[in-house]
Amino acid sequence: MTAPLPKAELHLHIEGTLEPELAFALAERNAVTLPHASAEELRKAYAFEDLQSFLNLYYELMSVLRTAEDFADLADAYLERAAAQGVRHAEIFFDPQAHTARGVPLETVLAGLGRALEAAPERHGISTRLIMCFLRDQSAESAMETLEAARPWFGSLITAVGLDSAEVGHPPSKFREVYDRAREAGLRLVAHAGEEGPPEYVWEALDVLKVERIDHGIRSLEDERLVERLVRDQIPLTVCPLSNVRLRCVDRLADHPLPRMLEAGLLVTVNSDDPSYFGGYAEDNFQGLRAETGLTDEQLRRLAANSFRASFLSPAERDAHLKEVESYRFG
Ligand code: ADE
Ligand code: ZN
């Protein structure tokens, strides 16, 4: 079998990689009771109506993550799957507030994730960055406290901040001061916008938060001027096709706007978001697009090249990966 196309994954929530089998194993290890009979039963609950219906289950299952070992096992399991799907570099989100609110200290989360990420280059051939996300449906004060609590890890383990969770009703501008502070601290900036929320949220993420990348951004297509701006400044969009279908932002993969986005000259990348919940990891998203939208091999190569261009890697690291993408031969 041909090895998968080399790629970077830039939109991946580590908590969204919790497979049902691991959830049950961790529940047993930590004597946590899950309100589902088995891993198969749990999988049957993965029929979502929208972002919120997914988030309800996503936050519920986090109850099994308690110790540093749990977080290390979670991240290591993702990295192993990602490596098998051609991922060479992963910029990984985590949701600190979802853990501290349950009484799991930030130190514990970061000790576990840090251990797995540190071992990743040698163990799985994957370099990583860690992006700390704020839950946008919680207050700006809570986000600011979280930012300050994480300061000891800035520039070592934590490279960037992001914004996720329930989008509609929680515009980026709510977090202006938090992003100002993160920028002053030298962190890189990204935010989810235009997944369920309107194009105005993408404008705000760019102009108020001054982010370098937009996570999702598919609703940008509704605003011609916004598309012009994103094309002009080559702002990367981390698009997640299988996620968009499962959360009913897009009806079917065959209708996904990604081919139109590429054609418009947008710097689009393909990512898995919460692969355990949405039916596929990075290469599964590439293969789904190829099968359902008819993207050509050269378009897939361009998407893989975009993933490294849009990453936080140094120019030398990026160029080494781009060479590998250019010389890749499709089977
Ligand atoms: N948290 C995890 N996955 C998410 C998504 N797709 N959108 C917003 N918040 C999330
Ligand atoms: Zn996401």
Atom nearest to 167 CA in ligand 1: 8
Q: Which of 49, 94, 136, 192 to mutate to test the pocket of ligand 1 (most atoms within 8 A of CB)?
A: 192
pLDDT at site 313: 98
Residue 142 has pLDDT above 90, yes or no: yes
89 is in an annotated binding site: no
Considering every ligand atom, which ligand is closest to the CA of 213?
A: 2
13 is in an annotated binding site: yes
Identify whether 319 is part of a domain.
Answer: no
Residue 139 has pLDDT above 90, yes or no: yes
Please identify which residue in the block is written with the tokens 């940008």: 220
Q: What is the CA(314)–ligand 2 centre distance, in A? A: 24
pLDDT at site 283: 98
Q: What is the CA(197)–ligand 2 centre distance, in A? A: 13
Q: Which of 58, 246, 273 to mutate to test the pocket of ligand 1 (most atoms within 8 A of CB)?
A: 273
Identify whether 87 is part of a domain.
Answer: yes
* Beta-carbon contacts of residue 305 (< 8 Å; ≥ 6 apart): 322, 325, 326
pLDDT at site 159: 98
Considering every ligand atom, which ligand is closest to the CA of 167?
A: 1
| Length in residues, the chain | 331
Residue 292 contacts residue 262 (beta carbons within 8 Å)? no
Instruction: Give the mean pLDDT of the chain.
Output: 98
Q: How confident is the model at residue 315 (pLDDT cuts 50, 70, 90)?
A: very high
Atom nearest to 274 CA in ligand 1: 3
Identify whether 315 is part of a domain.
Answer: no
* Beta-carbon contacts of residue 253 (< 8 Å; ≥ 6 apart): 241, 242, 245, 288, 289, 291, 292, 293
* Distance separating alpha carbons of residues 253 and 190, to the nearest angstrom: 25
192 is in an annotated binding site: yes
Give pLDDT tens digits for 199-252. 999 999 999 999 999 999 999 999 999 999 999 999 999 999 999 999 999 999
Active site residues: 195
Residue span of the structural domain in which 219 resides: 13-310
Give pLDDT tens digits for 5-42. 999 999 999 999 999 999 999 999 999 999 999 999 99
Q: Which of 9, 10, 13 to mutate to test the pocket of ligand 1 (most atoms within 8 A of CB)?
A: 13
pLDDT at site 331: 87
Identify whether 62 is part of a domain.
Answer: yes
Helix, strand, or coil (residue 167): coil
Domain tally, the chain: 1
What does the DSSP assignment read for 181-246? HHHHTT-EEEEEESSSS-HHHHHHHHHTS--SEEEE-GGGGG-HHHHHHHHHTT-EEEE-HHHHHH
- Give the tokens for residue 44: 């049957």
Identify whether 259 is part of a domain.
Answer: yes
Residues with CB under 6 A from ligand 1: 13, 16, 51, 58, 164-165, 192, 195, 243, 273-274
pTM over 0.85: yes
Q: Whose CA is nearest to atom 8 of ligand 1?
A: 165
Residue 160 has pLDDT above 80, yes or no: yes
Residue 188 contacts residue 154 (beta carbons within 8 Å)? no
Identify whether 213 is part of a domain.
Answer: yes
DSSP annotation of 36 reads S
Q: How confident is the model at residue 1 (pLDDT cuts 50, 70, 90)?
A: confident
Q: Whose CA is nearest to atom 9 of ligand 1?
A: 165
Residue 254 has pLDDT above 80, yes or no: yes
Kindly report the CATH number assigned to the domain that includes residue 96.
Answer: 3.20.20.140
Identify whether 94 is part of a domain.
Answer: yes
Give pLDDT tens digits for 210-225. 999 999 999 999 999 9
